[in-house]
Structure 1
């Protein structure tokens, strides 16, 4: 019997909470009518009798006889109503906001009624419990008394509606009716679940009768009783045992009960009741999914479809105005079927249910555009479900359902393209999604040419969609943009079916060019960005050769002498990397292409092209062994670096390619500094540079670098860098003259003198050029170098000489320095003072 008390307290507590808000609003209106200052108006003269106002009843008070009577009382023709100072009725539209109810009205007028109803149920519980404890009643008598008590409460609720002393307060009848329904469900629980007086099928029949009685009472007594009927009706199957009579009768009961709630909600315009019924019904479905596992789920899945469609129809008619409530049941139904899918092994029944529900969303969207978001959600979930089922161990009827799914969304989307953007999305999703997913996860189901036919046909329809939407007013139209992109993907995939996978870059390049040409034809700004996707796809397809180049670069940077071993096969590199370069080169003249990723796309294409050129540059000398590196390593690096310098110089002459020229010069300079002066410096690492003095790779490489720096870098950076590189070239000249083709080894005496002589000549040349051209930097560099050479001669070179050689050395140096000083003095004296000061 403890279950009776629990059910009664919970049910009546729900009723009290729901009823409180409504009663609070009605009480505020009564108090305002009694105390509003606006009701005080000047009295009417005795000579002019006040007209009898027409009786007006607020529709919001129609369910409460006491409040309706109080509102209509001044118009009943009583003497009090005919008094001259009686206030005229005030329309609710002009009424001020009523005051909040007082604590006295809350405690004295509202709570006692519902607390009393709870007390009635509890009193009956304790009465029966006491009779059991003293051994007065047996199980049959207890059940009979509980049924009689429930019937008495229901009868009392009807009597309360008719007795003059009680009918003015509708809450009494509502409380008694709610207590009666709660007691009825408790009695059914006692008879069926505890004492087993009735079997499963009779229990379901009685449960259905009690539920019908609850709905009838809700229709008579209002929302509080409806709430109790809702709670009791959905809890009742648990009371009687949900699986006692089988899943079929349970779902039949739930369907009939939910339909009755929907009809009641529509009749009374109770949107809250329709929402609550929908939520509770879906909760039952989830409970069954958890309780039944993977067995007997076909009937619950069918119930989901019926529930989603019925709730979608009922909610707007019950007064639900929020847009999300209109599509919420459909979306919930689709999600619910998604949860059922693995348990049903993606069989034909599941797909049939899903297609029916998706078709319902499309039908509603065709009739009312507000449901289009539900159709888009159905498309997205359908594609997710399709992909999930294709990778599942058991695909069931998925492959047969895929074309039906495509037709379901694509056909109405194509037919209704002119209605707007959403229909274009449905068309594109139906055309591209199923065929691409099926080809990706189940390629062996069809021959390559069959996939090609399907994908090229879908590509043609997607292109037609983009063509139809070309005149769209809105930018970023999904039909125009999405149709073009889908057509490109489908066409590339279809053509790719007819080619070996190694040639996938060719159809991708064709699709990229088509997107660029279509963008130029329409002038749509968003379309100009789509070729970037094609370029990215081609780069992704070339990950293997690109990985080889990246490995080569990394090995070179860390000092690997034979990085050419990491070169990919030339045929693979050309087959995968040349198509994106060609596609970008053909589209690049139109400056709108690839925006806003134009700079990044062009840079990527140039980088790929440089990799290919570098690959070709590594082929002739084929530095693949240590012996080849010793012979040709320095020469190969020199040729590549000098080619980059020359390319930068040629591009610098084009004003629109200055950025590219600067990038190539920076790359060449970095190679020269890192490889030739640091990690692979021929003075430190053995490499042949050539045996001919002056005309060898070492001198030639550094001298040309000086020329490029002077020609390409801005002033004064260029000339200064050229002077530093010229200094290095002179050192390389002396080193090569002393050591021959291999520059490694110690510095000898003759080499030391050679450095002094060569650097002295260089200093004199810089001084002469500085004096002749008026170049201050050259003069200062010449003087600094001359000073350094002088110190070297005095401190290092002269220390190794004896006798006449030392005398002649110092004599020659002294005469040379005096001559240089005399010439430099005459130069400064001949220049205007302003010029000297300006230096």
Structure 2
């Protein structure tokens, strides 16, 4: 007992000594500032006194009569001088008034926590003295902060840029008190969970009251310190259940600060800290108990965040219920956090707690969206959460996730169906009720309710089908889809009847959304009953139906549903390009690719025309649909080529010269067609797509045909005869299309694009001629390591000169400088070849013929340039 009293007295004395120095220093600075101000005032008064006395006359002077002015004048009024800008703080002021206080406050906060940790690790004192010292330190800091507040706040005003010293000291005391209470429960077991909950809640309430006196800086430091305390002190025996109690109390305290004083940034910071802790607990969950604790913590934090940001909007009238982006973002973050924790604990902690937590992840955002209309997007968030839960639902024991995370049999499929059915029905009902009863809702809010009510059951049905039916034909799921279509038709009819009584934009938006959902459900049913797995086809048909409904009922907002379905299809393609399952059929062209890519391409192309607003510049929805139509059409062409050349296997690893040539021909052809279409439609999507396909074709032609599959480098066999073979198709036809693209793009595309197309055509044409000559002499195998005859060497010179002359003639007829320059390059190459190779490699008549032919051609070219290109002007 004596030891306890001694060390307690010693701790208080040390604390007093440490506190007296800063307090005395602060008071001295305050008094010194007062004295300095008084000295300045006295000096100004002394300087002003002689000047004032000099202006007072000793006797009344005689009046002086002024001469009359020639004309009346108006005295100029001097312009008011602007207030001088406050002087910029010097380095010394910033260092002495700001940096030292901030660093000192942080040091106090970490020192309070590290002192507790050090006393635990060193074992100098017993548990009782450790706890007494911790509480004494916390109370001493709180008392010092209050004393400084009363002393300093009544003196001179503090500039806003200066940090608040009393708030710093009080924040350190708050953190120390949080750590002491947590250590008393989690480390030493002095108090039970009930008392710990009360103590932590009382500490948070006290900090809230103190923040009202000291300002938001105290709340911010208290939040950071409270969240960091478990990391500095420890978890208490390795169990994370104490954190499940502690962290929500800290978050609730911060939310209380924010709610009471309007400190929204503090609430956002609390939500971020809570999400980080939830993920950390989920990662550390290695058994069922830890998983349950992490899930309970995630549910509590999600509920607190949703309550804090949604409840202030509870009484917002419908006409003012504009979407709150910040509240929506917080709701989405909290829900994603909870779903992530569900994924991290799916294997170790599956059971009743996991299922209830999954339901909470859907109920929390949907309830917030239903109760607070500015958070209507909560229904969409609930739909995303439900989709994630279906994907993450634990598989059967012993199975592992496949590459797509789905298409695995699940544990307890009956429970999964019950959760999906109840959740989807609940979200749809809440959205429909809000649309029916909120006729004055803004368009964006009504669209959020409509999207949540319609997309949630469609997405849930699709993902459940993939998990349980594994993308195969399923009559039961087809029936479920058709039942969903009937339900959507019924809800649409209810909205139509309400709209006839009280017309409003919200009811019109809801009617269009439910009608589109009915079309989508019917399409899903057809997919489930027939082809199996072709979600891309179903969503494309739904987009076409939505576009038709938007055009028929004149619902502009419904056009965004088409855009949303287009984005979903793009994501589906990125996830798995095999849109219709693994078996496509072996027949070229007429196979399931035509359905999987051709039908969606046509559907989105028609939808883009239906939802385009007449007389206006195209906006995002038709542009998205148009872009997706072009992308699907390109996929169809490319995959059909691979399907035809690889016996139905579009994912074959090898690729030959014919395939690369057809790919280049298709890309160049699409670019040329899009350039033509852009001249008619003036669409930015078509313009960008033509540039994109052109660049891809240029790169693929040069890298693929020039290097990767070039038979000169690979020595692969080339099929066909002397004149008609794979080289003509792979190199000759793309060269002609590249020349056509260059000519077509001259008027509407950048100069670099035109030059690149012409250059690619020139290179491909040169390769086509050279490889054709090589094939004629060597046969199917034409690698560079094979022997080249003198006749073949001569044929190259003759062929290159002939091609150069052809390009020269084209350039003269079409007045094309590019063609003439290409001709010059070929002639120069042939000249170098004759002088460098033919002179040494040929003998006899071939050497002479080579030089004779070259000389004749060069003289002829010079004559043509003199007579036709640069002919001097004739004079009469």
Relative to the length of structure 2, the TM-score reads: 0.49
Matched, 1:689 2:689: no
Q: State the partner residue of 1:800.
A: 844
Q: State the partner residue of 2:739.
A: 710
The answer to whether the 8 Å contact 1:485/1:530 transfers is no
Matched, 1:315 2:195: no
Q: State the partner residue of 2:81.
A: none
The answer to whether the 8 Å contact 2:774/2:782 transfers is yes
Counterpart Cα distance in 2 of 1:479 and 1:344: 49
| Structure 2 CA distance for partners of 1:446 and 1:536, relative to 1, 3 Å | farther
- The CA deviation at 1:35 is 12
Counterpart Cα distance in 1 of 2:35 and 2:815: 105
Q: State the partner residue of 1:388.
A: 280
Counterpart Cα distance in 1 of 2:170 and 2:861: 109
Equivalent residues in 2 for 1:121-132, closer than 5 Å: none
Matched, 1:636 2:529: no
Equivalent residues in 2 for 1:144-155, closer than 5 Å: none
Counterpart Cα distance in 2 of 1:687 and 1:582: 41
| Worse overlay, 263-272 or 690-699 | 263-272
Q: State the partner residue of 1:652.
A: 675
- The CA deviation at 1:376 is 3.7
Q: State the partner residue of 2:777.
A: 738
Q: Deviations over 1:482-536 (max 9, x none)?
A: 999999998898567624368799699979999x999x99999x99999999789
Equivalent residues in 2 for 1:553-564, closer than 5 Å: none
Counterpart Cα distance in 2 of 1:329 and 1:571: 62
Q: State the partner residue of 2:405.
A: none
- The CA deviation at 1:285 is 5.7
Matched, 1:417 2:417: no
For structure 2, the residue ranges without an aligned partner over 5 or more in a row are 50-115, 154-164, 317-323, 378-443, 472-532, 580-590, 613-617, 747-753
Matched, 1:370 2:280: no
Counterpart Cα distance in 2 of 1:7 and 1:450: 50
Matched, 1:294 2:187: yes
Structure 2 residue aligned with 1:442, among 343, 346, 352?
346
| Structure 2 CA distance for partners of 1:289 and 1:654, relative to 1, 3 Å | same
Counterpart Cα distance in 1 of 2:358 and 2:145: 52
Counterpart Cα distance in 2 of 1:19 and 1:785: 91
| Structure 2 CA distance for partners of 1:704 and 1:480, relative to 1, 3 Å | same
Matched, 1:342 2:366: no
Matched, 1:617 2:641: yes
- The CA deviation at 1:634 is 3.1
| Structure 2 CA distance for partners of 1:458 and 1:481, relative to 1, 3 Å | farther
Q: State the partner residue of 1:156.
A: none
Matched, 1:680 2:709: yes
Counterpart Cα distance in 2 of 1:771 and 1:27: 93
- The CA deviation at 1:296 is 1.1
- The CA deviation at 1:722 is 5.3
Instruction: Name the count of aligned residue pairs.
Output: 595
The answer to whether the 8 Å contact 2:298/2:337 transfers is no
Equivalent residues in 2 for 1:90-129, closer than 5 Å: none
Counterpart Cα distance in 1 of 2:874 and 2:738: 28
Q: Deviations over 1:87-107 (max 9, x none)?
A: xxxxxxxxxxxxxxxxxxxxx
Counterpart Cα distance in 2 of 1:259 and 1:829: 100
The answer to whether the 8 Å contact 1:449/1:497 transfers is no
| Structure 2 CA distance for partners of 1:361 and 1:493, relative to 1, 3 Å | farther
The answer to whether the 8 Å contact 1:462/1:487 transfers is no
Give the greater-gyration-radius structure (CA).
1
Counterpart Cα distance in 2 of 1:383 and 1:535: 31
| Worse overlay, 534-543 or 665-674 | 534-543
Residue 656 of structure 2: SS of its match in structure 1?
helix
Equivalent residues in 2 for 1:190-229, closer than 5 Å: none
The answer to whether the 8 Å contact 1:308/1:330 transfers is no
The answer to whether the 8 Å contact 1:304/1:333 transfers is no
| Structure 2 CA distance for partners of 1:764 and 1:398, relative to 1, 3 Å | closer
Equivalent residues in 2 for 1:501-580, closer than 5 Å: 541=575
| Structure 2 CA distance for partners of 1:834 and 1:287, relative to 1, 3 Å | same
| Structure 2 CA distance for partners of 1:760 and 1:454, relative to 1, 3 Å | same
Q: Deviations over 1:789-813 (max 9, x none)?
A: 99899968994359xx99xx89997
Counterpart Cα distance in 2 of 1:713 and 1:659: 16
Q: Deviations over 1:285-325 (max 9, x none)?
A: 646867997331646945751552353354257xx343222
Counterpart Cα distance in 2 of 1:363 and 1:389: 24
Structure 2 residue aligned with 1:500, among 466, 470, 477?
466
Counterpart Cα distance in 2 of 1:316 and 1:304: 18
| Worse overlay, 641-650 or 775-784 | 775-784
Structure 2 residue aligned with 1:324, among 217, 242, 261?
217
The answer to whether the 8 Å contact 1:386/1:402 transfers is yes
Counterpart Cα distance in 2 of 1:341 and 1:487: 45
- The CA deviation at 1:408 is 3.9
Matched, 1:747 2:788: yes
Counterpart Cα distance in 1 of 2:810 and 2:135: 108
The answer to whether the 8 Å contact 1:651/1:661 transfers is yes
- The CA deviation at 1:619 is 3.0
The answer to whether the 8 Å contact 1:539/1:580 transfers is no
- The CA deviation at 1:711 is 1.4
| Structure 2 CA distance for partners of 1:783 and 1:481, relative to 1, 3 Å | same
| Structure 2 CA distance for partners of 1:747 and 1:441, relative to 1, 3 Å | same
Structure 2 residue aligned with 1:468, among 359, 368, 374?
374
The answer to whether the 8 Å contact 1:687/1:742 transfers is yes
Counterpart Cα distance in 2 of 1:389 and 1:434: 11
Relative to the length of structure 1, the TM-score reads: 0.50
| Structure 2 CA distance for partners of 1:821 and 1:356, relative to 1, 3 Å | closer
The answer to whether the 8 Å contact 1:652/1:661 transfers is yes
- The CA deviation at 1:612 is 6.9
- The CA deviation at 1:343 is 1.7
Q: State the partner residue of 1:699.
A: 728
Aligned-pair Cα RMSD in Å = 7.1
Residue 711 of structure 2: SS of its match in structure 1?
coil
| Structure 2 CA distance for partners of 1:637 and 1:798, relative to 1, 3 Å | closer
Residue 498 of structure 1: SS of its match in structure 2?
helix
Counterpart Cα distance in 2 of 1:336 and 1:542: 45
- The CA deviation at 1:352 is 4.5
Counterpart Cα distance in 1 of 2:703 and 2:208: 75
Residue 262 of structure 2: SS of its match in structure 1?
helix
| Structure 2 CA distance for partners of 1:484 and 1:24, relative to 1, 3 Å | farther
- The CA deviation at 1:624 is 12
| Worse overlay, 774-783 or 430-439 | 774-783
Counterpart Cα distance in 1 of 2:600 and 2:677: 25
- The CA deviation at 1:653 is 1.1
